[in-house]
Amino acid sequence: MNNQQWTVAARPRGAPVREDFALREQPLARPGEGQMLIQVLYLSVAPVMAMYMSGESIAQRPPLAIGDMLHGRGVGRVLISRHPDYEPGDVVHGQMGWQKYCVTTAPPEDRFYKFQADDLPPHLALGALGMTGFSAYCGFVTVGEPSPGRPVLVSGAAGGVGHLVVQIARILGCEPVVGIAGGPEKCALLAELGCHTSIDYRQGHLAARMREHCPDGFDLYFDNVGGQVLEAALENLAFGARIVLCGSISEYNQAQVSGPANYTRLRRHDASMRGFYVYNHEAGFAAAEATMADWIRRGELRPVQHIVDGFDKLPQALMGLFTGDNTGKQIVRVHDEGEV
Amino acid sequence: MNNQQWTVAARPRGAPVREDFALREQPLARPGEGQMLIQVLYLSVAPVMAMYMSGESIAQRPPLAIGDMLHGRGVGRVLISRHPDYEPGDVVHGQMGWQKYCVTTAPPEDRFYKFQADDLPPHLALGALGMTGFSAYCGFVTVGEPSPGRPVLVSGAAGGVGHLVVQIARILGCEPVVGIAGGPEKCALLAELGCHTSIDYRQGHLAARMREHCPDGFDLYFDNVGGQVLEAALENLAFGARIVLCGSISEYNQAQVSGPANYTRLRRHDASMRGFYVYNHEAGFAAAEATMADWIRRGELRPVQHIVDGFDKLPQALMGLFTGDNTGKQIVRVHDEGEV
């Protein structure tokens, strides 16, 4: 049986373009001892993938060389298992790469998680009920320590992590929940998701508009973008405010990142800027998944999954993240759930 | 009776020079209801004063106009009191300005504190037993949450706040305590004060040398300087590390501050960057003073006070802070303690 993979054809200069990707077809290996063969159902598309393409290494994943298959998280069905913890038919999520079938490496190189909420669609394992959701939940709740009744600001608020954070903030009673996104469509989505206010960053004057919506400053800012939005937020902090650093998409494709010029604003208000790496919070994943699955079943949390159909659409789906096309979590369907 | 005051003659371009200061003589006002006349014994000299001269406003002090008297903390003896809380003979410290005698404003505009440790020299009210010491103690202990046995890094470690922080770290059992300062003399002082290691920043390769002294990263970095030292420290963080932002002297005279380019390093290690404003910790001042006075009496804490003699030396004393001349807390003696 043959497998298809997307590889790095060239290093992106700035945002990736179609020519930076190449499709490769090759025979599928058979799983050895401790390995599994997984049929990939859905693949996640995230901005960080472009950084790997550029040859950078972040978190624990190695940088990519020209010709390497792209990194990517997926959810799939186990077809063959020679691993003691998994059986054929299990739905698992983890690092699968941009390919139609995945033969896992022997442990412990890559971690896979069983999808628990089998009454809910498996693609949620790439959104609210997987690493994206765990980033939102652990980052906002555990690292950010939100308080009911206190104002929260979220950037990239219509994105994969952000659209979950604004809803978690609303469910936990933070007020107002102010979301930042680009363009009227995304701002309309934020209103539907329960944001009390939204700010369209394309209209400029960010710091002034934050002040307008929250004159006494924000208690918690969840940062998905870095750059000028982070600087504007630093001008609008309340006493003891926390800034949670989750992502910084505005900086991913820049040759030279300068860092927030006004970072010393943290001093005035005894505020802090807190980074987190989601795998440091692995002990909390099961609770996060259970809590969010419950919110989804009760209709309080609405995951927005933007599902593009077809393995061939992966490059476009990634490119779209840098032109601001996407709302919610960007996902590509590789195989239908019924198809083997 | 006439009073003398130092005023802003010109805005400094970069570090202040002698021509930026002017001496003014004028009659001394009599204290009104709620006011005091204070004979200034010692004045503190600190980098922030140059920022005020440049027309910037930080913390709660207004920016200075050309012709205004310089801001400055002092310790002095109450000569006349029309304030119910103070009596003639009391030794008090607070904002006095660069002048020989100070007529206080009516409360609550400026806060004065009685010097409690009357068995110790009053100039300590401008060092370990005043706002400088409270910045060191509250910033390091309350905000930084140090742990015994864990590695601590301090920049500006031979400076007013820094030389206290390295000693507090050593007394609390942090290990190793690594101090950063400029030049062999200051590094020798750090060894005397009990630093386990010192790094002379003038010899470059900061990040590599931090790693050498502490391969697993620092648990706590107390930052007095910002700039490249902060960036190097961000490359050397342990899991859960805290960076306490106290000062950023390397950036005070720069037209354009860029912020730490690698601030997202906080993400890898679940680390945080915490600002603090010392007056937010006023409730802890009495305990900080009592603890540090005790350490001084027992010989465990050694305040390094660099006392320059004479009111006329104030401009040179401030200029010296930007050429790296000073060790310890920089103080100018205005009147002898016996002189009235």
Domain boundary assignment for chain A:
2-126+303-333, 131-279
- Residue B272 has its nearest CB partner, among A260, A265, A272, at A272
**Interface mutation vs chain B, best among A243, A246, A273, A280, most B CBs within 10 Å:** A273
- Report residue A39's pLDDT band, with 50, 70 and 90 as the boundaries: very high
Q: With CB atoms and an 8 Å threshold, state whether B245 touches A266.
A: yes
- Report residue A124's pLDDT band, with 50, 70 and 90 as the boundaries: very high
From A132-146, B62-76, B143-157, the region with the lowest mean pLDDT: B62-76
Domain B2-127+304-333: CATH superfamily, name plus number: Medium-chain alcohol dehydrogenases, catalytic domain (3.90.180.10)
Q: Is residue B25 within a helix (H) or strand (E), and if so which, with residue range?
A: strand B21-27
Cβ count near A3 (within 10 Å): 17
Q: With CB atoms and an 8 Å threshold, state whether B267 touches A280.
A: no
Structure tokens at A323: 């032109």
pLDDT in the model for residue B322: 85
How far apart (Å, rounded) are the C-alpha atoms in residues B208 and B221?
Answer: 16
pLDDT in the model for residue A60: 60
Q: Is B324 a residue whose pLDDT tops 80?
A: no
The torsion angle over the Cα atoms of residues A95, A99, A100 and A101, rounded to 10 degrees, is -60
How far apart (Å, rounded) are the C-alpha atoms in residues B296 and B120?
Answer: 9
pLDDT tens across A181-235, in order?
999 999 999 999 999 999 999 998 999 999 999 999 999 999 999 999 999 999 9
pLDDT in the model for residue B249: 61
Give how far Cα A134 sits from Cα of A51, A142, A190, A245, B240, Å. Answer: 21, 10, 20, 14, 19
CB A300 within 8 A of CB A173: no
Q: With CB atoms and an 8 Å threshold, state whether B264 touches A277.
A: no
Smallest CA–CA distance, residue A82 to chain B, in Å, is 33
Say if the ipTM goes beyond 0.90: no
DSSP B31-76: P-TT-EEEEEEEEE--THHHHHHTT---TTSPPPPTTPBPP-EEEE
- Architecture of the domain whose range is A131-279: 3-Layer(aba) Sandwich (3.40)
Interface of B with A (CB under 8 A): 59, 143, 226, 239, 245-246, 248, 251, 256-277, 280
- Residue B267 has its nearest CB partner, among A262, A264, A277, at A277
- For range A231-252, the mean pLDDT: 87
Among 3.90.1720.10, 3.90.180.10, 2.60.410.10, 1.10.357.10, name the CATH number for the domain at A2-126+303-333.
3.90.180.10
Tell me which amino acid residue A197 is: T
Q: Which residue of B has its CA nearest to A257?
A: B261
Contacts of A259 in chain B (CB under 8 A): 258-263
CB A224 within 8 A of CB A204: no
Q: Is A103 a residue whose pLDDT tops 70?
A: yes
Tell which wins on pLDDT, B60 or A195: A195
- Architecture of the domain whose range is B132-279: 3-Layer(aba) Sandwich (3.40)
How far apart (Å, rounded) are the C-alpha atoms in residues A137 and A129?
Answer: 10
Q: What single-letter DSSP state applies at residue A173?
A: T
Q: Is A249 a residue whose pLDDT tops 50?
A: yes
DSSP β-bridge partners for residue B95: B73
pLDDT in the model for residue B108: 46
